[in-house]
Amino acid sequence: MNRTIILLLALTAGFGAMTLAATIRGGSSTEKVIRVTAKKFDFTPGEITVKKGEPLVLELTSEDRTHGFNLPDFHLRTEVKPSTVTTIRLTPEKAGRFGFACDVFCGSGHEDMAGTLVVTD
Amino acid sequence: MSQQSSRRDFMKLAGLGGIVFASRLGGTALGANSVLEALGDKASRQEEFYFVQLSDTHWGFDGPKVNPDAQGTLKKAVAAVNSLEEQPDFVVFTGDLTQTTDDPKMRRERMAGFQEIVSKLRVKTVRLMAGEHDAALDRGEAYQEFFGNLHYTFDHKGVHFIVLDNVSDPAAIIGEAQRTWLQADLKQHKLNTPIVVLTHRPLFDLYPQWDWATSDAAAVIDTLMPYQNVTVFYGHIHQEHHHLTGHIAHHAARSLMFPLPPPGSVPKRVPVPWDPAAPYKGIGFREVEADVRKSRFGITELPVVKG
């Protein structure tokens, strides 16, 4: 009996941890979490797709040096630093393709460091 | 009629088709009638001068598909300026003198190379400023060794010129210290003083998706806004562009290495490929004719190589 309860608790805890890794629950909505890695001179992933109205969490980190992440259409920007996870939350209410770019000059190739947020209906 | 007047008269007459943009310092566009009206005002000629703006020379750039004459274009531009019938009062380079590099030694070699080529200009008054390619990776250390201050002012025939540094902070921030310096400088001038701001990046959100902006530009514009006659000349975007924020006119210059596409016109900000059928297309420099008394500028775009 005790072993069964302990196993269930362990399974529940394990599932909960996996769930937390993928989503963060805030209020009644579920957030989609995307980890974005920056390095000279690209973002991975370079294209992020989300549904309109779906809360999105971007967890940004850098593999080499300080970069910037600027998503002007949503008035969102932050620095992206190594060994640090910077979180950005947004809930896009308009469909379309929206560019983001590094806005901290990082060398010859900085101009190529950009990506796209795709918001589908 | 002096040779000087003849040249300017010719420019203005030619300008009915040749001056691509003329603006009052306050930002009001001039029509052909206004240009002709200016012709008749002999008094104003006493307060006229012109300068040449060159930009984004990217000395050290290597990309044959974009510019197979990367080693020769700046030299051709210097020769073109030297061949102008009437020499300008001065020449300005609005940043990105060199192509960036992670190697501090190579950065200095490129700056020395640029300096050597530009020393061949007949005009000896040359005003320089940094672009992010020159100054962002070392916060302007090498640039200052070669070329001096990153921000400064100078005055010429009644016009107050302000060189702003919006590049040595890699996040394109002018910063509180420089903005305080700007406020202190402006307080020494009357509200109707003709003011020209020279800088590298746009002082407005031209297209932040391509990093075509200055982080704290709005604060700088707020500081400039009380002044009635302010015009901004800048580079960075490798193409001619004209914009107004209130009464303040902004004029972007072409590059002397490669053109870039219009903002947002293509998915990615990549250089326009070299066109063998039209070499040097989109590359060039400009003359800026100042009528100080009327607070007007006439801009004439010139190719680096005459077709």
B96-142 per-position pLDDT tens digit: 999 999 999 999 999 999 999 999 999 999 999 999 999 999 999 99
> Which residues of B fall within a CB distance of 8 Å from A106?
170
Contact A70 B167 (CB under 8 A): no
Q: Report the CATH number that the domain containing residue B170 is assigned in CATH.
A: 3.60.21.10
Query: Considering its fold, how many domains does chain B have in total?
Result: 1
In this prediction, what percent of chain A has a pLDDT beyond 70? 76
Distance from CA of A113 to the nearest CA of B (A): 9
Partner-chain residue, chosen from B101, B209, B267, that has the shortest CB–CB distance to A108: B101
What does the pLDDT read at residue B253? 98
Residue B139 lies in a domain: yes
Residue B30 lies in a domain: no
Contact B171 A79 (CB under 8 A): yes
> Which residues of A fall within a CB distance of 8 Å from B209?
70, 72-73, 98-101, 114
Residue B106 lies in a domain: yes
Q: Kindly provide the ipTM of the predicted complex, given to two decimals.
A: 0.84
Residue B148 lies in a domain: yes
Partner-chain residue, chosen from A72, A107, A108, that has the shortest CB–CB distance to B208: A72
Q: Which residue from B275, B304, B257, B306 is spatially nearest to B71, judged by alpha carbons?
A: B257
Residue B33 lies in a domain: no
A70 touches chain B (CB under 8 A): yes
> Which residues of A fall within a CB distance of 8 Å from B213?
103
Domain that residue B182 falls in? 51-286
* pTM listed for this prediction: 0.85
Domain A26-120: give its CATH code.
2.60.40.420
Distance from CA of A30 to the nearest CA of B (A): 28
Contact B205 A72 (CB under 8 A): yes
pLDDT tens for B214-235 read 999 999 999 999 999 999 999 9
pLDDT tens for B231-281 read 999 999 999 999 999 999 999 999 999 999 999 999 989 999 999 999 999
Structure-model confidence comparison of residues B306 and A119, the more confident one? A119
In three-state secondary structure terms, A18 is helix
* Confidence band, pLDDT 50/70/90 cuts, at residue A29: low
Q: Which residue from B283, B251, B271 is spatially nearest to B19, judged by alpha carbons?
A: B251
Contact B269 A114 (CB under 8 A): yes
Distance from CA of A109 to the nearest CA of B (A): 9
A56 touches chain B (CB under 8 A): no
What is the rounded average pLDDT for all residues in chain B? 88
Contact B100 A112 (CB under 8 A): no
Contact A103 B171 (CB under 8 A): yes
Distance from CA of A21 to the nearest CA of B (A): 30
Q: State the Rg of chain B over Cα.
A: 18
Domain boundaries, chain A: 26-120
Residue B1 lies in a domain: no
A46 touches chain B (CB under 8 A): no
Interface residue of B59, B110, B201, B209 to substitute, partner A, most A CBs within 10 Å? B209
Contact B209 A105 (CB under 8 A): no
Partner-chain residue, chosen from A66, A98, A103, that has the shortest CB–CB distance to B172: A103
Mean pLDDT on B166-191: 98
